[in-house]
Amino acid sequence: MAEYNAPLEEMKFTLFDVIGMDEVLLLDHYRDASKDIVDAIMEEGSKFTHEILSPLNRVGDIEGTVFKNKSVTMPKGFKEAYAQYVENGWNSVTSSPEYGGMGLPVMLGVCLMEMVDSANMAYSLCPILSCGAVDAIEAHGTLDQKSTYMEKLVSGQWAGTMNLTESQAGSDVGALTTKAELQKDGTYRIKGQKIFITYGDHDMSENIIHLVLARLPDAPSGTRGISLFIVPKFLINEDGSLGKRNDAYPVSVEHKMGIMASPTCVMVFGDADDCTGYLLHEEGRGMQAMFTFMNNARLNIGVQGVACAQRAYQMADEYAHERVQGRAIGYEGQEKHTISEHADVRRMLLTMKSQTQAARSIAYLTAKYIDLARHHPDAKSREDYKALADLLTPMAKGYTTDIGTEVASLAMQVFGGAGYIEETGIAQIYRDSRINQIYEGTNGIQAMDLAGRKISLRGGKDWKYLLGEMKEFCDDLPDKGDFSLMKRQFSKIIETTMSCSVWAYENQTENLRSVMAGSVAYLRLFSTSVGAYLLIKGAKAADKKLKKDHGNNIFYKEQIDIAYFYAQQIIPQVLGFEEIIKAGDDALYRDV
């Protein structure tokens, strides 16, 4: 399998020409950043992921992790690659300079994470989780906790984990039973078992900081009674050095379908009644702190979807241009053609490419809103951008990860039988990608979050704003040439999304189950609208460049072709979702 090469031209075009990263770089908070710095870091990221992480992808898949004597050993090369990752500062790109980070925009962080994910998804989960722990401790930790943990988590010297799931408490986090009891010295004794804990143990970092949800003895049931605790693998001495081994151990590692190099651990806390935890935030407000962790992680998992799609597309496109099979219809002569000339293969490749780019654009737009929500000078604007980021997050996780697996599946189809054989590498992408639709809140839960919560917040102001912006852009599109079809199709999908949003909004209280019944269709419809918006924006930017001074530039021409294909072939696939959404739960409960 060829090593991963980051699609830098596409990434930069999406960042600057479609999403408008300039606006973020103009923020005072990012005054030391510039387009040149962003470009240079992306070039370096591309090199690192190509040379160091990508060659370990298949090694990790074949070797997997080894669990022995209550500890996990990573596959060959991972520890060394992680050391280089930390040394080069890749772990700390977006973190605050106060803790040794580079303080660069989340937009850039997401872009780099896409490279890491595409090169080696199983590896990427370790830094993703550390980033989540950094966000949670920075937002909710005491000064003392920040000085103990932040710098080492930011650098990557220590890694982080997220411990929610128990066997009876998956999507229903409120059902968890892990206990925490206050001790005389102000620490807590933690006791319980967590399952499916990603990077619960490994040998890449010198310490692991587990963030563990647990319940105090007199806590109310449900999510209101949950608190969050910092549980280090090694306790930390007064002088910051590593102390006693904490009673927090992996007891097994799961055998999985994919991401073989990511150790998914069953963790036991307090088997010897000696597990020490430190309260993060306030008692009973653990879910609030965990949401800070998860919001970051949700976008990053969405980016894993984009990354799987990108890698799968790259490989399929290359293969399709090499594999000769039959004569393509519509060509003269007897000569045989590469499969890229067959209509159905072209359909698959364009479906893959356009949806990958739509998914990437949605993820980058969410990151832009996060940057603006954090650092816009005006408080009211910060609030509005935060609401937009919150609205987009279920799409940036749900749509992108659905696309990741769908594109990987199409890539396998393009490869034919060879795709089903492990050596080509497509099967690994498909296997790896599938988990993205499940963890960090299943895509069903994302859809419910969008249709049952996000659209009802602030009187529906945010989706109305976003759809309004899209409509204004659509009305301004020229009604000629390729743009004529794009305008017509885009207008249809905006109208349909608006109508379904109004329906879902109006049925929130009286008819919520019906809204939920159509929520997955609604998420797909809304995401496809936003995807169309961003692709057509790209087509318009490309058209302008072509007219100005890039007459024959293939890349810009391609941007128009992709948006045209998406408008003609993808939009109609979801317009019929209106009927599904508005049908509600009628067909789902007939026997009840």
Ligand X SMILES: Cc1cc2nc3c(=O)[nH]c(=O)nc-3n(C[C@H](O)[C@H](O)[C@H](O)COP(=O)(O)OP(=O)(O)OC[C@H]3O[C@@H](n4cnc5c(N)ncnc54)[C@H](O)[C@@H]3O)c2cc1C
Report, as residue numbers or ranges, the catalytic residues.
440
Q: How far is the CB of 446 from ligand X (least distance, A)?
A: 9
For ligand X, the closer of residues 227 and 264 by Cβ is 264
How far apart are the C-alpha atoms of 48 and 366, rounded to whole Å? 25
Q: How many CB atoms lie within 10 A of CB 523?
A: 25
Residue 197 Cβ vs ligand X, minimum distance, rounded to whole Å: 5
* Token pair for 164: 């929610």
**Residue 451 CB, nearest approach to ligand X (Å):** 11
Two structure tokens written together for 321:
């241009």
- Output the residue with the shortest Cβ distance to ligand X: 170
Helix (H, G, I), strand (E, B) or coil at 27: coil
- Residues 446-485 as x/- pattern, contact with ligand X by CB under 6 A: --x-------------------------------------
Q: Pick from 122, 236, 435, 450: which binds ligand X (CB under 6 A)?
A: 435
Residue 442 within binding range of ligand X, rule CB under 6 A: yes
3-class DSSP assignment, residue 230: strand
Burial of 398 (0-12, 13-18, 19+ CB in 10 A): buried
Among 219, 242, 445, 546, interactor with ligand X by CB under 6 A: 445
Cα distance between residue 199 and residue 72, in whole Å: 9
CB of residue 455 vs ligand X: minimum separation in angstroms?
Answer: 17
The DSSP code for 75 is P
Task: Encode burial over 136-153: b for 16+ CB neighbours within 10 A, e otherwise.
Answer: bbbebbeeebbebbbbbb
- Should residue 499 be labelled a site residue for ligand X when binding is judged by CB under 6 A? no
Q: Cβ-count burial of 357 within 10 angstroms (0-12 exposed, 13-18 middle, 19+ buried)?
A: buried
Q: How far is the CB of 581 from ligand X (least distance, A)?
A: 16
Q: For 432-468, b where at least 16 C-beta lie within 10 A, e where not — what string? A: bbbbbbebbbbbbbbbbbbbbebbbebebebbbebbe
For ligand X, the closer of residues 11 and 266 by Cβ is: 266
Q: Select 42 or 162, whichever has its Cβ closest to ligand X.
A: 162
Q: Does 444 bind ligand X (CB under 6 A)?
A: yes
Nearer residue to ligand X within complex by CB, 170 or 518: 170
Residue 256 near ligand X by CB under 6 A: yes
Using CB under 6 A, which residues numbered 502 to 521 contact ligand X?
none
Pairing of strands 276-280, 226-232: antiparallel
CB closer to ligand X, 199 vs 364 = 199
**Could you write out the DSSP letters of every residue in 361-422?**
HHHHHHHHHHHHHHH-SSHHHHHHHHHHHHHHHHHHHHHHHHHHHHHHHHHHHHHTHHHHSG
Among 14, 118, 198, 528, binds ligand X (CB under 6 A): 198
Contact (CB, 8 A) for 207 and 232: yes
Q: Which of residues 130-169 bind ligand X (CB under 6 A)?
A: 162-165
Window of 21-29, 86-94, 195-203, 341-349 that interacts with ligand X by CB under 6 A: 195-203
Which is closer to ligand X, CB of 167 or CB of 484? 167
Residue closer to ligand X by CB (options 249, 364) is: 249
**Residue 75 C-beta: closest distance to ligand X, Å:** 16
Q: Is position 175 an interface residue for ligand X (rule: CB under 6 A)?
A: no
- Of residues 95 and 443, the one with the C-beta less far from ligand X: 443
Q: Is the dihedral of CA 351, 122, 129, 92 positive or negative?
A: negative
433 binds ligand X (CB under 6 A): no
> Taking CB under 6 A as the rule, does residue 229 contact ligand X?
no
In the set 178, 264, 310, 496, which binds ligand X (CB under 6 A)?
264
- Let me know: does 289 contact 281? Beta carbons within 8 Å: yes
Residues 13-32 that bind ligand X (CB under 6 A): none
Q: Which string of b and e fits 196-231 if b means at least 16 CB within 10 Å?
A: bbbbbbbebbebbbbbbbbbbeebeeebebbbbbbb
Closest CB 195 distance from ligand X, rounded Å: 7
Nearer to ligand X, 120 or 165 (CB): 165
Q: Which of 1, 83, 242, 438 binds ligand X (CB under 6 A)?
A: 438
Q: Which residue has the tokens 């049908």?
A: 583
CB of 517 to ligand X, least distance (A): 10
Burial category of 550 from C-beta neighbours within 10 Å (exposed 0-12, middle 13-18, buried 19 and up): middle
Among 156, 170, 263, 419, binds ligand X (CB under 6 A): 170
Number of residues this chain uses to bind ligand X (CB under 6 A): 19
Query: Which amino acid is residue 584, in one-letter code?
Result: G
Q: Which residues make up the interface to ligand X (CB under 6 A)? A: 162-165, 170-171, 196-198, 256, 264, 435, 438-439, 441-442, 444-445, 448
